[in-house]
Chains A and B, each alone.
Chain A
Amino acid sequence: MTRTARVFSALAAVLLALAAAVVLGATADAASGDAARLVEQMRAAAGAHDFTATVEVTWHNAAGARKQATVDLRAVNGALEVSAGDQVVLDQGGHTFVKDELGWWTPPSEPRPSRHPSPDARWGLALRHGTALGRATSTVVASRADGSVAQRLTIDDATDVLVGREVVDRDGSVERGFRFTSFVVTPRSNGAASIGASPTATAKDASPVRAVPTGFDAPGTIGAGWVLVTKSRHGDGVQLAYSDGLFTLSVLEQQGELDWNALPGGGSGTTVDGARARRYAQPLGDVVVWEQDGVVFTCVSDAPRDVYVTALAGITGGPSTVDRVVDFVLGPFGFD
């Protein structure tokens, strides 16, 4: 082969590799887009179908011991009821009601967010197809930048209802999750049927705020891709909700000195940005409580531990430039 032929061969190989990379990238983007759309459809599906299910919930407590519980799930005409023994959680008409040993009560409903990150804004998503409970399913796999799996969402193909979820730590172990062990879809009753539970608590809405009072922090973004979606007043503090498109993170800020003795038992010691903190592992997610600069932070997140811990320090890092401007303009007028 002549020298000219070798050069042309090398150029052709490079061009072929580039073309392959472009095609593969486009395919990956398309797959990620398809997965993101499926996640959005899944979020609306629970209210669009009537069904009953038995769900196995698993998590690890702060000591690392594996815990498990079984709950019953029922969806009727857009209302969703979860029951475990005498405990009932009911989602109805945009409000959540809880029945425990003290009776019915309801947490204030947060305002609807004006912006929400796309599920694939931060996460690389891929789709896998399989079966669960004898039904065809698709699994949305979210991966970290290093390729390790962070979450698997198993979605029923026929209804788009989420039938399984695994939150995975960096080592590949499942931190928490749930899976349907039975799933019966019933024809929609067109308003003829309703959830059996009748909450006696009065639904209430949280009061949104545009600027938080002096002394509180509400950064517009924290960590790698967490976006502040809502903020509201909460009695003696402020409540912030963050999203990264797949996971959620809530922060309650209260001014004062943390009474460590009043915290629930259990949990484990940790630190946040050098400050002493306490962590609790719950079926829903981790809770971290700490105090910094006269403000007590109670943070809850359903993300894997390595994902949310990087965001915690950012909460106390002061407001973003945009928030500073908003605070400057709106601060004199108080909350609203």
Chain B
Amino acid sequence: MTDMTPPLPPAAAPGPSDPDDDRSLLSGYLDGELTAEERAIVDARLAESPEWRAELGEVRAARDAVRALDLRDAPAGFWAGVEAAVASTPDPTPAATTLEAATPGGTVVPLDDHRARRRSRRRIAAWAAGGVAAAVVFGAMFVIPGRHQVRPNVAAVVTRHGATSAQQGDPISGLVPLAPMRSSR
């Protein structure tokens, strides 16, 4: 591993633009998504910085908490509600109107007032459309178990298998091979 570790920049001068101090790497580090170079950077930082180690623990705890959330189907009527909201949303690009069409009685209104009302209707339509879009995005992200990208944590799955084998069968066969697997990662 040490042959992969690049020289460390000064630890006293971190900053948001410093890639070697980019703590957003920690999440990818836990999920095994980093390149070898990025992983070496994080390994080096973890070795020298208690703050990084503490933050890593927090990221891991948060990640585990999120992953422990249950899958839930959309509540009954959710999609019907979304469709109804879409159907009731005014067309944000109304058909071309004339002064006469807007005033069926032929009453003449000030042009500025008419434009102000039209802008107001457009704002309402835009807000409604935005609300529907937000609801759909919310549903896709948190409610509907949709087709998202799956990144299996292979090492964690193997460890869980070994633990299960140890609990349900032979503990030596289940546990002994885990230590070299983790040390050879």
**A binding-site residues for B, Cβ under 8 Å:** 42-43, 46-47, 55, 57, 59, 67, 69, 71, 73, 80, 82-89, 91, 94-96, 98, 100-103, 105, 107-110, 112-113, 116, 161-162, 165, 176, 178, 213-215, 229-230, 233, 235-237, 239, 241, 243, 248, 250, 252, 254-259, 262-264, 280, 282-285, 287, 289, 291, 294, 296, 298, 300, 302, 335
Contacts and interface: CB of A to CB of B under 8 A. Distances in A.
A108 B163 CA distance: 9
A200 B114 CA distance: 69
A182 B159 CA distance: 25
Contacts of A100: 182
B148 A109 contact: no
B120 interface: no
Contacts of A89: 162, 175, 178-179, 182
A294 B147 contact: yes
26 contacts: A47-B171, A59-B177, A69-B179, A80-B175, A84-B180, A87-B179, A94-B167, A98-B182, A100-B182, A103-B53, A107-B159, A108-B160, A109-B164, A113-B168, A235-B69, A241-B168, A243-B169, A250-B157, A250-B161, A252-B160, A255-B147, A256-B147, A257-B148, A258-B149, A289-B154, A302-B165
B151 interface: yes
Contacts of A298: 152, 154, 157
Contacts of B184: 67, 69, 283
B: contact size bracket: 35 or more
Interface of B: 30-33, 43, 46, 53, 56-57, 60, 66-71, 73, 145-152, 154-184
Contact of A284 (B32, B158, B170): B158
A212 to B, nearest CB: 10
Q: For chain A, what secondary structure do more than half of its interface residues adopt (helix, strand, loop), or is it mixed?
A: strand
A280 B57 CA distance: 28
Contacts of B68: 235
Nearest to A108: B160
